[in-house]
Amino acid sequence: MSDENNKRITFEEFIKTDQKHISGVDNELTALLKEILLAGKSISSISGRAPISGLTGTDGSVNQHGDKVKKLDLIAEEEMVSALRRATSVCMAVSEETEEVIHLNSENGNYIVSFDPIDGSANIDTNLSTGTIFSISKRQSKIGGKPDEEEVLQTGDVQVVAGYFLYGPALVFCFTAGSGLHQFILDSDTGTFILVRENCKIPGHGTVYSINEGGVETFSAGVKNYIRYCQEGDPATGRPYLSRYCGAMVADIHRILLEGGIFIYPRTDEFPSGKVRMLYECNPMSFIIEEAGGMSVNGRKRIMEVEPDDIHQQSPIFIGSTQNVKTVLSFLENQDQ
Ligand code: AFP
């Protein structure tokens, strides 16, 4: 996007000048976001070179979720943790790849950051899209002194910023500070993120449904019936819908943000509590989609109202265009999710 003089607007200019859409983003948060942007650029460039620098494949370990850890998962986590340390305003962090809360030795830090360093890491070795998701919330306790680890267990409603990078043909950065959702693309010639959509809105209804249907036999009756509804022919509602699934939530939800539709990860036999993690996947993506005018629920209530009691808590999720989410809820009513 460009301003009235046809000048392209960089992230730095946007943050400095667009007070309407970044109210609450003070100097400290701006500095933190700039560090996170550097981490995103670095993860993108390391991922792009991974096949020629021997960084594809697993590192031999298994994380707390039972997933085989990829070499790039760990490198991306290091990039994010270094960025948070440089910012000096973060007291604690939660990462998908680390079992415990990470203390950042900045007892005066105002912020808590939860992040998934590489979302969709199963896509790394086949050169498909991945992403990084992050959520920033304010520390509740008084500054100074070691913060209580329990403080990371906040509801999504207290997030102050959420964002994601999508490592696709272009490096996309989307973020919200609670006054709209904004999308930037990295101009690789200049190394700057350029605003491409200010205050993006998700279509109210879409004709894409995105779900790993492999486990369909183990979905609840409500979810199975909704999938059948998506597959039935009905030109008035654009059905049958298109089925699209990348295996990286960031990529699937980015498509739905732009074109409309619904992303679902329900309870399955393999994941009886759902698969997607509350603090660093469900909450930030829910904040983002709600800011774009969409909805995100766990089948019973808004995701962002759920009080997590474990840092790696998982949840079912139904997220996307308002009309699609309302329809799936009508299928789930009085039935198990
Ligand atoms: P990772 O962050 O461990 O890569 O998990 C990705 C994810 O939670 C989400 O991004 C995908 O939509 C989902 O897993 C894919 O899971 P399936 O392979 O079970 O479909």
Distance of alpha carbon 95 from alpha carbon 44, whole angstroms: 18
**Is the minimum distance from the CB of 112 to ligand 1 under 6 angstroms?**
no
CA of 332 to the centre of ligand 1 (A): 23
Cα→Cα distances 11→39, 51, 200, 202, 312, Å: 15, 30, 15, 21, 31
Question: Which residues of the chain does CATH 3.40.190.80 include?
Answer: 208-335
Residue of 268, 179, 273 whose CA lies nearest to 218? 268
Which residue minimizes the CA distance to atom 16 of ligand 1? 247
Q: Which pLDDT does position 287 carry in this prediction?
A: 98
Does the beta carbon of 121 sit less than 6 angstroms from any atom of ligand 1? yes
120 lines ligand 1 (CB under 6 A): yes
**63 C-alpha to ligand 1 centroid (Å):** 14
- Is 119 near ligand 1, meaning CB less than 6 Å away? yes
Say what the pTM is.
0.95
Q: How far is CA 59 from the centre of its chain?
A: 24
Q: How many Cβ atoms from other residues are within 10 Å of residue 103's Cβ?
A: 15
Is the minimum distance from the CB of 212 to ligand 1 under 6 angstroms? yes
- Ligand 1 in reach of 73 Cβ (< 6 A): no
pLDDT of residue 51: 87
Instruction: Tell me how far the alpha carbon of residue 255 lies from the centroid of ligand 1, in angstroms.
Output: 16
CATH class of 11-197: alpha beta
| pLDDT value of residue 87 | 94
CA-123 nearest atom, ligand 1: 4
Grouping H, G, I as helix, E, B as strand and the rest as coil, residue 138 is strand
CA distance 224 to 321: 19
What is the torsional sign of CA 332, 334, 335, 337? positive
User: Is 312 close to ligand 1, i.e. is its CB under 6 Å away?
Assistant: no
Contact by Cβ (8 Å): 263, 256? yes
- Profile the chain (337 residues) by mean pLDDT over runs of 10 residues: 76 84 82 97 94 86 80 95 95 95 86 97 93 95 83 96 97 96 96 96 98 96 97 96 98 98 97 97 98 97 97 98 98 70
Q: Which atom of ligand 1 is nearest to the CA of 277?
A: 8
Tell whether ligand 1 has an atom less than 6 A from the beta carbon of residue 276: yes
To test the pocket of ligand 1, the residue of 281, 283, 315 to mutate (highest count of ligand atoms within 8 Å of its CB) is: 281
Ligand 1 centre to CA of 110 (Å) is: 30
Distance 118 CA to ligand 1 centre (A): 10
Residues 6+ apart with CB under 8 A from 61: 68, 69
- Write phi, then psi, for 41 (nearest 5 degrees): -65, -40
Q: Confirm or reject CATH 3.40.190.80 for domain 208-335, answering yes or no.
A: yes
Ligand 1 binding pocket mutation candidate from 129, 211, 265, 313 (most atoms within 8 A of CB): 265
